Amino acid sequence: MPAPCCSRSSFEVSARRGRQHRQLRLSLPNEPISLRGLNVPAAPHEAIWAWSIIVAATAGVIIRPFRLPEAIWAVIGAVALVLLGLLSWQDALTGIDKGVDVYLFLIGMMLIAELARLEGLFDYLAAFAVEHARGSPQRLFLLIYIVGTLVTVLLSNDATAIVLTPAVYAATRAAGAKPLPYLFVCAFIANAASFVLPISNPANLVVFGKNMPHLGTWLRQFALPSLASIGLTYIALRLALHRELKDETIETSVPHPKLGRGGRLTAYGIGAIGIVLIWASALDLQLGLPTFVCGSATAAAVLLINRQSPLPVLQAISWSVLPLVGGLFVMVEALVKTGVIGRLSALLHQAVEQSVTKAAWSVGIATALADNIANNLPVGLVAGSVAANDHLPAPVVSAILIGVDLGPNLSVTGSLATILWLVALRREKIEVGAWPFLKLGLLVTPPALIAALAAAIW
């Protein structure tokens, strides 16, 4: 992969009239394209065809016509761009290659998450929360929120959606509680806590790619916004669901699954992965390969000790996520070649020149809204590609990421994690429609989004 022409993400602090002005020199996953080079875009009719295919494919990913998997539509869109001559196969391969770190990260996280599910670790944690709630629905709500936060921070928001959701359902049913209020916790915390660490959301890798900020830089920039996001989401969600929790009675104890040797080893492996990834981030290393190695090593050790076949773990992994992400990378590469990224970058650059604060607020809110129209993975790719053309101030870059990560809490189509949460609910014969989720999202998301953006911008 060609090396980026810009330096690694770093903060430059300069004194200007007694005030400190922070600027983030940014290089993001798609190769920085000079605006001069984008003055000669693709022929108008070719660009229109390419955009039409990308819009149709993205709609297919969100709506899933004929109930086909999301990955099918992303791959169809990518293949159509190449077969119709709208994107060369070399450029398509370039787009796929830009996602290698993301693929490795996803494989490693899916391995360890599925292993934790099979070994009963999440069932153990959910039962632990029920027992320590001591018959209080409000306390159970808080404990599940805390567990969901930890799982999201250390294992990514997709793990919360895929494996914690079924465990919470089983535990709440065993406690005689109505599952839905507690299941909403899994959906909302999966996005609200997803920018605590770089590893907390695959979208973070999509936005920053191999140019992830140093861990210290990340924590300085996102620690306070994350606290605001997690805290305000809890308060708003708790108030919105207070009637459902007020009159409910739950059991004080439930059957507590025993955590075997494999489960304990998996828990140690998760802790080790967290340490390794924090170390890798502190050393400014890409996160995909360490995640893949740690996840594979933990899975191999547990399976070897238990003398189990790897097939159950491998078969349960959602491998379709990989072609889905690869197809999205190809489609964003087409947007680069047709000049869309350059035009959007120029608009953002003009807004920054007029007012950094206004530009940050505008791009953060616009990105959050766009998530719920086109899903945050393609939006994150586009936003990262747009930002890659300029050295943007830190508040603007932070606002982009917060919009990508937190914005999806508004609707069920906002993020891959929320879609996976819906799939997990359907397996338990629970249906949550778009409108009920939107009504709750409208109450919960704006306060958290505004607070997180304010913490990042000011």
CA–CA separation, 77 and 60 (whole Å): 9
pLDDT of residue 390: 62
% of residues, the chain, pLDDT over 90: 42
CA–CA separation, 37 and 164 (whole Å): 47
Q: What is the mean pLDDT of residues 127-132?
A: 84
pLDDT of residue 45: 81
Q: Treating both helix axes as pointing N-terminal to C-terminal, what angle do 179-192 and 137-155 enclose, rounded to 10 degrees?
A: 30
Q: Which is it for strands 19-25 and 10-16: parallel, antiparallel or unpaired?
A: antiparallel
CA of residue 24 relative to chain centroid, distance: 22
Q: What is the mean pLDDT of residues 126-130?
A: 83
Q: Which of 19-23, 125-129, 279-283 has the lowest mean pLDDT?
A: 19-23
User: What are the extents of the domains in the chain?
Assistant: 10-457
pLDDT of residue 42: 57
pLDDT digits (tens, 9 = 90+) for 381-410: 888 888 766 678 889 999 999 999 999 999
pLDDT of residue 420: 81
Is the predicted pLDDT of residue 142 greater than 50, yes or no? yes
pLDDT digits (tens, 9 = 90+) for 29-86: 444 433 333 334 556 788 899 999 999 998 888 788 988 888 899 999 999 999 999 9
Residues 6+ apart with CB under 8 A from 451: 225, 228, 229, 231, 232
CA–CA separation, 338 and 453 (whole Å): 31
CA–CA separation, 34 and 19 (whole Å): 31
* Both tokens assigned to 246: 């007020």
Q: Which of 5-19, 113-127, 128-142, 375-389 has the lowest mean pLDDT?
A: 5-19
Q: What is the mean pLDDT of residues 267-291?
A: 84
Q: Which residue has the tokens 């690869």?
A: 326
CA–CA separation, 196 and 149 (whole Å): 10
pLDDT digits (tens, 9 = 90+) for 94-113: 999 988 988 998 899 889 88
Contact indicator for 214, 198 with CB cutoff of 8 Å: no
- 431 SS3 class: coil
pLDDT of residue 185: 97
Q: Treating both helix axes as pointing N-terminal to C-terminal, what angle do 215-240 and 179-192 enclose, rounded to 10 degrees?
A: 150
Please give the model's pTM, rounded to 2 decimal places: 0.80
Contacts 24+ apart (CB under 8 A), 353-360: 356/393, 356/395, 356/396, 357/395, 357/457, 357/458, 359/396, 360/393, 360/395, 360/396, 360/398, 360/399, 360/453, 360/456, 360/457
Half-sphere exposure of 447 (CA within 13 A, CB side): 16
Q: Which residue has the higher pLDDT, 23 or 73?
A: 73
Q: What is the mean pLDDT of residues 297-308?
A: 91
Q: Treating both helix axes as pointing N-terminal to C-terminal, what angle do 356-374 and 376-387 enclose, rounded to 10 degrees?
A: 150
Q: How far is CA 282 from CA 160, 216, 217, 294, in A?
A: 25, 7, 9, 17
Q: What is the mean pLDDT of residues 131-151?
A: 92
Q: Which residue has the tokens 């891959």?
A: 416
CA–CA separation, 38 and 389 (whole Å): 11
pLDDT of residue 389: 61
Q: What is the mean pLDDT of residues 254-260?
A: 80
Which range of 66-75, 210-219, 308-317, 361-370 scores highest in mean pLDDT? It is 361-370
pLDDT of residue 346: 86
